[in-house]
Amino acid sequence: MRAALATLLLASACNLVFGVDPGAGGADAARGDAPVAGSKRWSRVVAGLNHTCAIDEAAALWCWGENISGQLGDRSYGPRSRPTQVEPGTTWKQVSLGVFHTCGVQMNDSLWCWGSDSSGQLGISSTAAQPRPVAVSAGAAGVVSWKAVAAGSFYTVAVATDGTMWSWGADSFGQLGTGLLAPTGGVILQDQPTQITGTDYDQVAAGPLHACATQTTGALWCWGLGSTGQLGRGGNTSSTVPVPAAAATALSWSEVGVGNAHTCARTTAGEIWCWGFDEVGQVGQGQGAGSRPPGQVLAVASTLAVGGRHTCALDEAGLLWCWGDADHGRLALDRDQPVLTPSSVVPDRRWAAASSGATHSCAIDAGDATLWCTGNNGAAQLGVGSGGPMPEPLALGRSASSLSVGAGHGCLIEGAGAVACWGDNSDGQVGDGTNRARAAPTPVTGATAGALSLGDDTSCLIDRATPPALWCWGDGGSGQLGQDDTSDSARPLRVATSATGWQQVDTGRHSCGLEHGDLSCWGRHDEGQLGNAADANVPRIVASMINDVSTGGTHTCAVRSNTQIACWGRNSDGQLGTTPEVGGPAAVTVQAQGAPLTGSAIYAGEAFTCALDGTQQAWCWGRNSRGQLGRAASTTGAPARTDSNQPWAHLALGREHACGVTVDSGELYCWGSNTYGQLGLGPGMAIQVPAPTRVGSATWKRVVAGFEFTCGIQTDDSVWCWGRNEQGQLGDGQSQRLGFVPVPDPPPP
C-alpha cells in the first residue's frame, strides 16, 4: 500500500503551528547523545500516554512530550523534549494526565485543567483547546477547593476537600459515574462538573473507560466498563455508578490505580492486590491470560504505579517492582516477553516515587531526588532531549536502493537485496521473528528483495529469484498475507500461489499484485476492495491487462493497458473519482472533465487518490479535509489538477498528506496535514498546508508516505525520515530506552 492507514481521534486545531522545541535542536542535532542527570530535585512525577509531568521540590510544575492540544500548559502547541515549566510562579501539589489534556491541584487547593476540550474534559463549558491552565469550579455553590484529580482518556474526575466527587467529559460506558448510560456505540458529553453520589471520597484514579476511588473509611469503589473484570466485582458487568470493589476481601484500602482494563489497589497494611484483564501479565498473578479476580501480588508496598498494560510498586525499602508488558523497555528490562509476576527492577537503586504511563515509566531517586525515565520515547515523553516528532528530514545514517513504509513501520533494501525494518512490530511487521518494537533498522532474514511494499501493519516483498516469488509478513488478520488463513507472521512467508513472475505488489489491509499484466487481490473485502464478489485469503485474478495498481484504505485503483484509470471499493469521500459517491466491487472508470482520465501511475491513500497523467501532471480526488488533494478548494469527488504545474516523477500518499518528487530536478514537495511535521517543512509551519511546498534544498530520488510520517532517499542514496515517531517509525534509534536514563535539567528560559 502506498499510503499507511490507521485511525486516531484528534482535536481539530487548524490555526495551530508545529512549534519549535527549544530542547530538541534542529534536524542535524545529536539526538543520540547520552542524557546527563541534572541537579534539580524532584518530589513527584506522573507518566501519561505521550507526555509526562513532574513537580520539583519548590512545588513548580514541569511538563514535556506531545503537545498537539496544548496539554503541556506552556501556552504553545509544539512538542517539548525537555521539561518546560507550567505557569511560572505557581505552586502545585498534584497533577494528572489524560490523552490530550492535563489537570492539577495547586497548593491553595484550586483546580486547573488545560489541553484538549473536545469532549468537555476541561469542565469549563467549552470545546476549544486551552494551552494554559484554566480554573475549574463545580456545582451551584461553585466548589473551588479540591484535594485530588484524575484525568481519564477524555474525561476527568475530581474530589473536593469536602469529600464530594465530581466528573465531566466523555461518557460511553458509565465512566463518569453519574448514572447516565450512553446508547450502544454512542457517547454522552458533559462539559460541566456533575456530582457523583456518595461522600467522604479521598483518592481517585481514572483510566480510559473505568475509574475507581477510595473513601476515608477505607472503602473502595469502581465504575464504568467492567467487561474484563476491572471493577473488581467478581464478574464482567459494567456500572454507571460507583459499586464496591473487591468487597469479598473485607480489606481497607488507601490507594488505587487503574490501567487500560485492569485495576490495582494498596491496602492500609501495604498489600498490593490486582484484578481485571491480564493478557500480558499486568495483573501480576502469574497467569498472563484472560480476566482475573482480585488477588494479592505483593505483601508490603509503600506506593503504587499502574500503567496502561504494566504495573509497578515501591516496597518499604525503596526497591522498585514491576510486571506486565515489557515492550519498549517500559519495565526497564531488555526483553521481549511479558513479566507475569512482580520482578525487581534496578535492584542496586532505591527510589522515592514512581509512575507508570501507557508505554513508559519514571521514578525519582531516593538519594539525590533526580528524575529517571525508561520506555517509549517516540513522543519525547522521557524528557531526555531526543526522540519525539521531527518537523524536518532526519538522517538515519543508512544508504538504500529502495524504501517503503506502513502505518508505523518502515523497511529498506540495502546492497544485494538485504532487508532491514524498524518501528511498530505489534503484529510482527518488522519481520525479525518477534513482536518487539524496533527503534532502528533491524535485519530481516529469509529472503532478499528486489521490491518492497508496506501498508498498515503488513509488509511484502518480491524476491530476486528467477522467476521472482512474493513474500509477506505481519498482520494477517484479513488474509492479506496470502496464506489461506488469517494468522499473523513475524517472519516472511511465501504467498500461497502458483503464480510466477510477480512484477508489482501493493499491500495494506488488503493486497494486490501484478503478474504479467494479470491483477490478483486478496485480504479484506468488506467494501468490495478486492474487485470481486467473494472473500479471498489467497491471490485471485480480478482483472487483466493492468499496468499499475495501488491499494488504499478500503479501495483499490489501477491503470489499464489503454491508460484509463479504474477504481473500486469504498467511495464515501469520492475516492473512486465518481459521483454520486456509490462504491462496491465493480470497477468504475474515472472521469475527468467529461472524459475518461488517462494516466501512467496511480496512488491510493486512506480516502483519497492521485494519478499522474501522460504529461506527469498530478490529478487528485476524494477527501480533502487537510488539504491532501493539493489544492485550496475543499471539494471532493471529481478529479482535478493540484495547485502545481510541476511534472512529477512519482507521488506518495499518506493518511492525510502527500508528497512528490519532480521530474529531472529531483525536488521534493509535500502538502496536506502537518500535525506532526510530516511535511518536513521545519518548525513553525502551519499544521495544514494545502499547496505543494518544497522540502529543503536537497535533491531526492524517492519519497514514501506513512500514517503521519514520511521517509525518502536522496540522490546520494542516504535515507531520511521526518514526522511522527511515537512507534519508532523514524528509525533514528531514539524512540525508546530499554533502561532508566536521567532526565536533564530544564533548558534555561
Q: What is the pLDDT of residue 20?
A: 38
Q: What is the pLDDT of residue 466?
A: 87
Q: Which three-class secondary structure state does DSSP give residue 328? A: helix
Residue 88's Cβ-count burial label (10 Å; 0-12, 13-18, 19+) is exposed
For the residues of 234-289, what is the DSSP string, one character each?
SS---EEEEEESSGGG---EEEEEE-SSEEEEEETT--EEEEEE-TTSTT-SS--S
Split at pLDDT 50, 70, 90, the class of 26 is: very low
pTM, two decimals, is 0.87
Does 39 have pLDDT greater than 60? yes
pLDDT greater at residue 144 or residue 566: 566
Q: What is the pLDDT of residue 532?
A: 85
Split at pLDDT 50, 70, 90, the class of 416 is: confident
Split at pLDDT 50, 70, 90, the class of 526 is: very high
| Distance, CA of 268 to CA of 300 (rounded, Å) | 10
The CA–CA distances, whole Å, from 495 to 462, 512, 524, 535 equal 10, 12, 16, 16
Longest CA pairwise span in the chain (Å): 80
The CA–CA distances, whole Å, from 676 to 117, 319, 421 equal 20, 38, 22
Average pLDDT over residues 718-730: 96
| Distance, CA of 256 to CA of 212 (rounded, Å) | 7
Split at pLDDT 50, 70, 90, the class of 725 is: very high
Q: Mean pLDDT check: name the lowest of 40-49, 483-492, 511-520, 572-581.
A: 572-581
Cell triple for 117: 476540550
Does 11 have pLDDT greater than 50? no
Q: What is the mean pLDDT of the chain?
A: 92
What torsion do the CA atoms of 569, 571, 576, 580 make, to the nearest 10 degrees? 130
pLDDT greater at residue 446 or residue 529: 529
The amino acid that residue 107 corresponds to is: M
Q: Residue for cell digits 504545474?
A: 645
Average pLDDT over residues 669-684: 94
Contacts of 643 (CB under 8 A, 6+ apart): 630, 631, 632, 690, 691, 692
Q: What is the pLDDT of residue 8?
A: 29
| Distance, CA of 261 to CA of 277 (rounded, Å) | 5
Q: How far is CA 64 from the centre of its chain?
A: 17
Q: Are the C-beta atoms of residues 683 and 391 closer than 8 Å to each other?
A: yes
Domains delineated in the chain: 390-733 (2.130.10.30)
Pairing type for strands 418-423 and 409-414 reads: antiparallel
Does 22 have pLDDT greater than 90? no
Q: Which three-class secondary structure state does DSSP give residue 161? A: coil
Q: What percent of the chain has pLDDT over 70?
A: 94
Contacts of 65 (CB under 8 A, 6+ apart): 48, 50, 51, 52, 72, 79, 80, 81, 379, 380, 381, 383, 388
Q: What is the pLDDT of residue 235?
A: 87
Task: List pLDDT tens digits, range 621-633.
Answer: 999 999 999 997 6
Conformational region of residue 385, where left means phi above 0, alpha means psi within -120 to 50, and beta covers everything else? left
Q: Are the C-beta atoms of residues 128 and 137 closer than 8 Å to each other?
A: no
Q: What is the pLDDT of residue 635?
A: 60
Q: What is the pLDDT of residue 33?
A: 58
Q: What is the pLDDT of residue 334?
A: 83
Cell triple for 274: 490486582
| Distance, CA of 149 to CA of 171 (rounded, Å) | 17
Task: List pLDDT tens digits, range 244-277.
Answer: 998 878 899 999 999 999 999 999 999 999 999 9
Does 148 have pLDDT greater than 80? yes
Q: What percent of the chain has pLDDT over 90?
A: 83
DSSP label of 415: T
Q: What is the pLDDT of residue 34?
A: 64
Does 531 have pLDDT greater than 70? yes
Task: List pLDDT tens digits, range 79-135.
Answer: 999 999 999 999 999 999 999 999 999 999 999 999 999 999 999 998 999 999 999
DSSP label of 623: -
Split at pLDDT 50, 70, 90, the class of 459 is: very high
Nearest alpha carbon to residue 625 among 1, 14, 100, 140 = 14
Q: What is the pLDDT of residue 637?
A: 63
Between vectors from CA 126 to CA 121 and to CA 132, what angle results, nearest 5°?
A: 70
For the residues of 168-193, what is the DSSP string, one character each?
EEEESSSTT-SS--PPTT--EEEEEE
Residue 396's Cβ-count burial label (10 Å; 0-12, 13-18, 19+) is buried
The CA–CA distances, whole Å, from 442 to 226, 414, 425, 539, 726 equal 40, 12, 11, 29, 18
Q: What is the pLDDT of residue 6?
A: 30
Residue 177 phi/psi, 5° resolution? 70, 15
Does 32 have pLDDT greater than 60? no
Q: Residue for cell digits 507521488?
A: 651
The amino acid that residue 465 corresponds to is: A
